[in-house]
Structure 1
């Protein structure tokens, strides 16, 4: 592709069309209010690698630009596209997918003014529990919010942030499932799997799982890829099914609810309703999404069988048009 085919200046309320090539794997469409800086560096092997804008580097050339991206894969199987706020939420984006044979799919994304609203709510939560939720917000020189970092990304800037935040909650979860089983619905051939805490080891063990689970820290829960949630090459199918469902339940704060001993079962309106610790970033991102869709942590696609989609993943074997809505949705479903 010619560079002029992929770099476009678009004015407010203007529509532009772009034809994307087939066989794009793990691709991104970047959008920004202003100009983003991309560059390449040579590795030790002499091969160039692309350096993308970073939300956690205050000296990044694009640090004062509001931007976001849509992720997609387009290959012989069709298209898979989503909006993701796993790392941050900046320029509000939504997607609408039209195809030849499937119904129109959409993830409308954040509402107009959502970044400011989330920052206001995070500041309020910080005043309540003393945790640095307000520091997730990044402001420009004029004092206007540019983006909101996820807690796992903020931890790369302040490793001690949220230290101990989940400790009392995790202790209570461990206490509950010492005396009764936690049933993980693997939504696979493994079926329901019962998990219990062994008091002698303080590990949560699940039937048929090749490894047990130590108590997670806040960083483990926010990232879902460290501590007991780290995946190893030798992990079996049960372990691979338990990890996302267990981590999602911790983020959403459902494990101590009355029926939280079986997961995933709750609809979206029950997520983040517990009185204890939860991922407030994810809660507020979903609060200000027009339809509640869009990944706000790594395993946000964990839902009950037949449950409403919270991740905002769209897919079609015969796509025709992918529309990206920029600047925020004014429609709430």
Structure 2
């Protein structure tokens, strides 16, 4: 759903790697402390003028229910129907941020903070046009800061708040977002994503031609509960799970970052966590086949380990053993998808990585993927305890906790929490936990 800049202006590892021997404590900085990566940018490829209007073609109503005991601001960012960067202004029109060729982040200073009413109230906004790669951000008791920078292709990149950078200007703010894309051809797709972090609890519901759909999200105390469970898991297995928690200077939990983000700033973390499990998987499937249900026209494909690679029938290339960071992110090592990969390869990657994250490959019945239901996920160690605890606290078990959390057996419910409708009428987002 996201469109990323190809420019990398820095790495979090060089900035904060030394600070991660304990739960991460934020120390917000200025624009000079912004670190730009593929994970916190969304870009347009052409230069645009500083336009402040748009000809409305499809106006989507968004209801925002505030259940938080404090002030909350909302922000809407994305790409308009012409793939230009937009940020919603308080007057209901798009602002088109323009870096004007700047190679360092420039703050967006327009009226883009949309204040919600007090606790228990509902605030309604209307998007003036279609939107893609969109996010609706919510910030509790503070303001989020967005920046724009030249993308290197003649356009501008929106630089979003970073959940993992403790010196990001927005680091001390309790925030979260939902993702959405609403197009003329395909309608509305929206989801709650915890792929990068868990922050301010959000839930949502979608009304449209398909009726009412909901993804309830997390309860109000979810961050503290997940941090407590991660600390207990770290005490149990000696892995740095508790270091995924980000706190303010007083030790109050703000968010929990995903192990993929943590590994990007501490490459030694979890380095041997999956080693024995991976070796056992390779051993098992060197003597019996692993069946991948591609859930596309290729149907079931048989995969067997030979010469150190997991080779699947009809696939254009085999899979080497992954390392921990490959499993967390599902987009590197054997799980990186290249331009020339065929449809079988593109189908195997998400199903194989999901099986590792959920630790189902060695279970009875795990020789078919996806095949086992959600009750079998995360039942053995090693596993993705970050994802396990998120789903444990989700009120309906739905919401992305790793990149391929939408992989499910045929006929099973979608654990990703994605909502979609070809003819949407309104999207409702609840902030700060469910309504009582």
Q: What TM-score, normalized by structure 2, do the two folds share?
A: 0.73
Q: Does residue 223 in structure 1 map to residue 332 in structure 2?
A: no
- Do residues 60 (structure 1) and 146 (structure 2) align? no
* Structure 1 runs, 4 residues or longer, greater than 2 Å off: 41-49
Partners of 2:153 and 2:205 lie apart in 1 by 41
Q: Which moved more, 1:242-251 or 1:29-38?
A: 29-38
The residue matched to 2:115 in structure 1 has which SS? Answer: coil
> Using a 3 Å threshold, how does the CA distance of structure 1 residues 203 and 107 change in structure 2: closer, same or farther?
same
Q: Distance in 1 between matches of 2:152 and 2:415?
A: 41
Alignment of 1:291 onto 2:396: yes
CA distance in 1, matches of 2:419, 2:324: 30
- Residue ranges of structure 2 left out of the alignment (5+ in a row): 1-52, 54-87, 93-111
State the distance in 2 between where 1:266 and 1:307 align. Answer: 10
Three-state SS of the structure 2 residue aligned to 1:125 is: helix
Output the CA distance in 1 between the equivalents of 2:249 and 2:296: 50
Larger deviation: 9-18 or 87-96?
A: 9-18
User: Partners of 1:68 and 1:107 in 2: how far apart?
Assistant: 15
Residue 261 (structure 1) aligned with residue 347 (structure 2)? no
In the alignment, what sits opposite 2:434? 329
Distance in structure 2 (CA, Å) of the matches to 1:43 and 1:311: 31
**In the alignment, which of 217, 230, 236 is matched to residue 342 of structure 2?**
236
- C-alpha offsets along residues 116-164 of structure 1, whole Å, 9 cap, x if unaligned? 0000000000011111000000001221100000000111221111101
Whole-Å separation in 2 of the counterparts to 1:184 and 1:220: 19
1:328 shift after superposition: 1.6
2:125 aligns with 18
C-alpha separation in 2, matches of 1:44 and 1:27: 22
Q: CA separation in 2, counterparts of 1:239 and 1:330?
A: 43
Q: What is residue 182 of structure 1 aligned with on the other side? A: 290
Unaligned runs of 5+ in 1: none
Match of 1:307 in 2: 412
Cα distance in 2 for residues equivalent to 1:313 and 1:64:
29
Among 189, 206, 211, the alignment partner of 2:317 is 211
SS in structure 2 at match of 1:63 = coil
Other-structure match for 2:137 = 30
Instruction: Using the TM superposition, give the Cα deviation of residue 46 of structure 1 relative to its aligned residue in structure 2, in angstroms.
Output: 6.3
Query: Partner of 2:211: helix, strand, or coil?
Result: coil
Match of 2:67 in 1: none
Are the counterparts in 2 of residues 163 and 218 from structure 1 also a CA contact under 8 Å? Answer: yes
The aligned counterpart of 1:78 is: 187
Using CA pairs below 8 Å that are at least 6 residues apart, which structure has the higher relative contact order? 1
* Structure 2 CA distance for aligned equivalents of residues 237 and 196 of structure 1: 19
Q: Is the 8 A contact 1:94 1:108 kept in 2?
A: yes
CA gap of 1:283–1:330, structure 2 versus 1, over 3 A, is farther
Q: 1:206 to 1:42 in 2, by over 3 A?
A: closer
Q: In the alignment, does 2:235 pair up with 1:154? A: no
TM-score w.r.t. the length of structure 1 is: 0.95
Q: Deviations over 1:254-287 (max 9, x none)?
A: 000011001111111211012x211100000110
- Give 2:358's aligned residue: 252
Instruction: Return the alpha-carbon distance in structure 2 between the equivalents of residues 330 and 129 of structure 1.
Output: 37
Partner of 2:45: none
Distance in structure 1 (CA, Å) of the matches to 2:128 and 2:344 = 38
1:9 equivalent in structure 2: 115
SS of the aligned residue for 1:205 comes to strand
Report the alpha carbon displacement of residue 202 of structure 1 after superposing the two structures with TM: 0.9
* Distance of 1:73 and 1:47 partners within structure 2: 21
Q: CA deviation at 1:330?
A: 6.2
Cα gap change, 1:44 to 1:189, in 2 (>3 Å): closer
Residue 103 of structure 1: how far off its partner (Å): 2.2
State the 1:12 CA deviation.
2.1
3-state SS of the aligned residue for 1:156?
A: helix
Distance 1:188 1:118, change over 3 A: same
Q: Which residue of 1 aligns with 2:74?
A: none
